[in-house]
Structure 1
Amino acid sequence: MTPAGAPGGTTGRSRPPGGGDGAAGSDEVAPPPLSLFALESARARVEWLSLVVSQRLLDPPRGSGEPVLVLPGLLAGDEATEPLRRILGGLGHVAHGWGLGVNVGPTAHILDGLVARVLALSEAARAERHDGRVQLVGISLGGILARELARQVPDHVGRVVTIGSPFRIVDHRQSRLAGVFQSLSHLHVSRERFDIFRQDALPQHVPTTAVYSRSDGVVSWRACVEDPGTEAHESVEVHSSHTGMPYNPATVYVVADRLAGDPAHWQPFRAPTRLRHLYPAP
């Protein structure tokens, strides 16, 4: 989970994490190496600069006015998602902040507020002759909450894109910020209402894309990927830090590409030839 927030191959297509890296074992509940955690801030700055330099060269697909709700990561608010929302707005989407202040986790205020926010955006979209489905983009902890929204109001959600979101977390040790999250647990709803360790499968008709990085310095990448082979639910790997992932050029292209597609006619992500170098080979 981020204090503010990936499979392509040689073909740039989405792929499940496979091989020895995905085997069961102690590595699955280990946090990222401390060396990666220490480099988070420096790597994030490089990724931000890379986006500034390369943004015009990405040339991602454009949207057609669909509402997009962007959810921030742990201890972040709308100011942290503003750069990504600005980019999406420039590509023809109507990108919204969540308007719920700082993300302190699954409080009643946040869970109830998100449902109300999606329903309001959905109603407004229908009034403008869109289908009324809201696209959700969640950064780290925000992605876990976005998936919960898709479970609660599936008929109002078009698709979900998560960025470095540990929605498959099974142990606090998989996050370097577990202590921060636990320190806020007295604010959270009961585990009967929302249990971060027990995330049910999403409705099949809500496509999902999980962007992750094996060099994530905050959360274990194994907690950030979809079940392999699940139709309309994919994982796309990028080379990125955790904190800089929302501003990484490869991530930005994936998000824009996924949001521009029709959820009713889902196809797996495939990077264009000119950008395949941005996505790790199998």
Structure 2
Amino acid sequence: MTTETALRPPSPLLLALEMRAFAEFGGYLAARPLLELAPSGDGHPVLVMPGLAAGDGSTVPLRAFLRRRGYRTYGWKAGRNTGHPGLLGLLQDRLHEIGERNGRAVSLIGWSAGGLYAREIAKLVPERVRQVITLGSPFAGGADVSNVKRLHEWLSGRRGDDPALRERLRATPPQPVTCIYTKTDGIVPWQRCVETPREAVENIEVPGSHSGLGHNPAVLYAIADRLARPEGDATPFARQGWRRLVYPAPVRQEV
């Protein structure tokens, strides 16, 4: 088992390989006909939250894909993700607005730092949230062990580690939770992006970069599969047939 003290930021090689995100976007465009075979949804609302320093523009491909699968998708409308806790109030208001508009619980998807907000909102307003899906979100630790530590400190205005906040982020939301991650993440250690697997809590590994998670075809298919479950259904992601070639067996690491 990997310990907190043993973790280091991803290697310079993995950081350089984040440039794969551009090729992965080309893969997304090429795979669009195949992605139309992904499971369709029931029309429930989905709120998507961007990664650090990004805004709603970065989640356009993901939201467009989900709209084609039958969902009502929403950006967070909170501007650039600065990683500041003060955004939580705005996002709770946004969640209430979407829930009231649709009269249904909302699924939350958070990319990287966006997933930290998704998890926290799900704990604060559990009755409004259907499920939580994170994409390379380092909830099992702070920004101190990452390749964006300085950027996070500059944007958020926060310096150093906060043990209380770290413990708060580790706590698992009460809804079904899916953690999608890649072991070749060049931004954050993948070990901080996974949960201890148990009922209604699962990890799904995909090939690719951190920066491409929002348009990686393997990620999009997995998201569509998870969103298509009936509300309250915690059936784990199936890896039979061709899926074995794309999605490795789930990680068993304790976090």
Q: TM-score, normalised by structure 2?
A: 0.90
Q: How does 1:70-109 map to 2 (within 5 A)?
A: 70-108=48-86
Is residue 149 of structure 2 the alignment partner of residue 181 of structure 1? no
Is residue 91 of structure 2 the alignment partner of residue 123 of structure 1? no
Is residue 246 of structure 2 the alignment partner of residue 274 of structure 1? no
Against the structure 1 CA distance between its residues 224 and 214, is the aligned structure 2 distance closer, same or farther, given a 3 Å change threshold?
A: same
- Give the Cα–Cα distance (whole angstroms) in 1 for the partners of residues 156 and 115 of structure 2: 18
Unaligned runs of 5+ in 2: 251-255
In the TM superposition, residue 272 of structure 1 has moved relative to its aligned partner by 5.2
Unaligned runs of 5+ in 1: 1-21, 127-131
The question of whether the paired residues in 2 share the 8 Å contact of 1:170 and 1:197 is answered with: no
Match of 2:128 in 1: 156
Q: 2:41 aligns with which of 58, 63, 68?
A: 63
For residues 188-208 of structure 1, what are the alpha-carbon distances to aligned partners after superposition, in whole Å with 9 as ceiling and x for unaligned? 9xx69x82464242343x000
Is residue 3 of structure 2 the alignment partner of residue 50 of structure 1? no
For residues 170-195 of structure 1, what are the alpha-carbon distances to aligned partners after superposition, in whole Å with 9 as ceiling and x for unaligned? 5612x10011101233279xx69x82
In the TM superposition, residue 159 of structure 1 has moved relative to its aligned partner by 0.2
Q: 2:180 aligns with which of 202, 211, 220?
A: 211
Against the structure 1 CA distance between its residues 38 and 200, is the aligned structure 2 distance closer, same or farther, given a 3 Å change threshold?
A: closer
Match of 2:206 in 1: 238
In the TM superposition, residue 141 of structure 1 has moved relative to its aligned partner by 0.1
- Give the Cα–Cα distance (whole angstroms) in 2 for the partners of residues 88 and 264 of structure 1: 20
Q: What secondary structure, in the 3-state scheme, does the structure 2 residue paired with 1:265 have?
A: coil
Is residue 165 of structure 2 the alignment partner of residue 195 of structure 1? yes
The question of whether the paired residues in 1 share the 8 Å contact of 2:130 and 2:231 is answered with: yes
Match of 1:13 in 2: none
Match of 2:14 in 1: 36
The question of whether the paired residues in 2 share the 8 Å contact of 1:106 and 1:145 is answered with: no
- Give the Cα–Cα distance (whole angstroms) in 2 for the partners of residues 137 and 279 of structure 1: 19
- Give the Cα–Cα distance (whole angstroms) in 1 for the partners of residues 112 and 143 of structure 2: 16
Against the structure 1 CA distance between its residues 25 and 104, is the aligned structure 2 distance closer, same or farther, given a 3 Å change threshold?
A: closer
Runs of 4+ in 1 over 6 A off after TM superposition: none
Q: What secondary structure, in the 3-state scheme, does the structure 1 residue paired with 2:42 have?
A: coil
Number of residue pairs aligned between Structure 1 and Structure 2: 247
Identity across the alignment (%): 40
Q: What secondary structure, in the 3-state scheme, does the structure 2 residue paired with 1:135 have?
A: strand
The question of whether the paired residues in 2 share the 8 Å contact of 1:207 and 1:263 is answered with: no
Indicate the structure whose relative CO is greater, using CA pairs within 8 Å and at least 6 residues apart.
Answer: 1
